[in-house]
Amino acid sequence: MTFAAIEEWQVSAPEGAPAGALVVAPPNLDAVARVLGWASEVGRPVLPWGGGTRMGPSGGVVPEVVVLTSQLTRVVDWQPDDLTLVVEAGALVDDVEAMLAERQQSAVLAERANGSTIGGMIASGASGYRRLRYGPTRDRILETVMASGDGRVFTSGGRVVKNVTGYDIPRLACGSLGSLGIIGQVCLKLWPVPESAATLDVTVDAFDGLYRPMALLETEDGAMAYLAGTAEEVAGQAAAVGAHAQPGLQWPMPLGGDVQIELRVPSPLTSAAVTQLRNAGATEFRAQHGIGLVAAEFDSWSSERLEELRTWAEGQGGAAVVLASPQSDIDRWGQAPGSVDLQRRVKAAFDPRRIMVPGRLPGGV
């Protein structure tokens, strides 16, 4: 494979891309595979690029090739009556959800996705607030078509809602952050959108009285419970907790600052995590009760603060993850899991030349 074979796909760099990198926007997944095959041969580190909304700290490695999924945006097959959708990875989450909403369906991806792609959302393992009701995103990835780090296109899983045919590589791809290869196409399991929904102003104490809410959030402004179901169910639950109900699901604005840390702890410790973050000086936060995820924003960067939060979260069997930092060489994860050697071998199975975002996973994997 020569450079000439991929040169035609070169485009100008998107905002925020590493300076000096070769940026390509291949027209299809086979072309993506050719780029990765070439990069494997010449040993150039690669960064997959979806919406570029959430690149986060890079782990210190400067990518030399940036592969955009901007040409992979087709909706391949939507089966509303089967509640499945096959879509290419570069499609925008907001566009896909808007399309699905026409038939009262949803892929239950993160709310307020602002420019995120389906592939980026899956690769970063992000779930929406509604995971409390529907489970995390990884529960809904039925099939993936990927280009591996060494440039092969392979399919895993299947387009059915229940399947144990072969190893669950779609689930492995979720949260892989591009370390195995590039996700080109996925089949997602959809959920019907309930007929009625409401957002309740409550206190955290009221959370326990609700049956299967969509989400239970707490921010610096207070607590909100999100309900959906039949009109009677929503009204009945709202009345039972005696809360003021606004119609629809009114999600808080996403955090946007340069300094963001997320605590991941067992769900009963959500309030404790909020306290930790407040004491550490968080200006804004989004706490998901019942899940154990609290993301927070700070005015300025402090390594000592990160260490303190980490010591606490890791002591609870969790983690403190850096979502955004002005310093690019920061350790995003903290203590690597005990399975780090196995993680390294799993990465090597798909990316033997170690070109895919090397060092982006915990433990420098």
Ligand X SMILES: Cc1cc2nc3c(=O)[nH]c(=O)nc-3n(C[C@H](O)[C@H](O)[C@H](O)COP(=O)(O)OP(=O)(O)OC[C@H]3O[C@@H](n4cnc5c(N)ncnc54)[C@H](O)[C@@H]3O)c2cc1C
Site residues (vs ligand X, CB under 6 A): 47-55, 69, 89, 110, 113-114, 116-117, 119-121, 123-124, 126, 177-178, 182-183, 254, 262, 295, 323, 357
CB nearer to ligand X: pick between 105 and 116:
116
Instruction: Report the chain's terminal Cα–Cα distance, integer Å.
Output: 27
Q: Which residue is nearest to ligand X (CB)?
A: 120
CB nearer to another protein: pick between 117 and 237:
237
Give the count of beta carbons closer than 10 Å to the beta carbon of residue 300.
Answer: 10
CB nearer to another protein: pick between 4 and 19:
4
Partner interacting with residue 50 (select from ligand X, another protein, none; CB below 5-8 Å by kind) = ligand X
**Residue 130 to residue 210: CA distance in whole angstroms:** 15
* Closest separation in Å from C-beta 103 to ligand X: 23
Q: Give backbone dihedrals phi and psi of 308, rounded to 5 degrees, phi first.
A: -65, -45
* Closest separation in Å from C-beta 324 to another protein: 16
Partner interacting with residue 316 (select from another protein, ligand X, none; CB below 5-8 Å by kind) = another protein
**Residue 58 to residue 19: CA distance in whole angstroms:** 13
CB nearer to another protein: pick between 93 and 123:
123
* Closest separation in Å from C-beta 166 to another protein: 5
Contact 328, 60 (CB under 8 A): yes
Give the count of beta carbons closer than 10 Å to the beta carbon of residue 262.
Answer: 21
* Closest separation in Å from C-beta 358 to another protein: 14
Give the gyration radius of the chain's Cα atoms: 21
User: What's the per-residue H, E or C state across 109-143?
Assistant: CCCCCCCCEHHHHHHCCCCCCCHHHHCCHHHHEEE
Residues sharing a CB contact under 8 Å with residue 289, sequence separation 6 or more, in sequence order:
204, 207, 216, 217, 218, 223, 267, 270, 271
Query: What are the start-end ranges of the H helices in 45-161?
Result: 93-101, 118-123, 131-134
CB nearer to ligand X: pick between 237 and 260:
260
Q: How is residue 116 written in tokens? A: 């995120």
CB nearer to another protein: pick between 18 and 225:
225
CB nearer to another protein: pick between 96 and 122:
122
DSSP 316: T
* Closest separation in Å from C-beta 177 to another protein: 9
Partner interacting with residue 25 (select from ligand X, another protein, none; CB below 5-8 Å by kind) = none
Partner interacting with residue 178 (select from another protein, ligand X, none; CB below 5-8 Å by kind) = ligand X
Partner interacting with residue 51 (select from ligand X, another protein, none; CB below 5-8 Å by kind) = ligand X
DSSP 69: -
Partner interacting with residue 14 (select from ligand X, another protein, none; CB below 5-8 Å by kind) = none
Contact 179, 360 (CB under 8 A): yes
Q: How is residue 93 written in tokens? A: 């989450």
* Closest separation in Å from C-beta 212 to another protein: 7
CB nearer to ligand X: pick between 176 and 237:
176
* Closest separation in Å from C-beta 195 to ligand X: 27
* Closest separation in Å from C-beta 331 to another protein: 11
CA distances (Å), 57 to each of 266, 359, 364, in order? 25, 11, 12
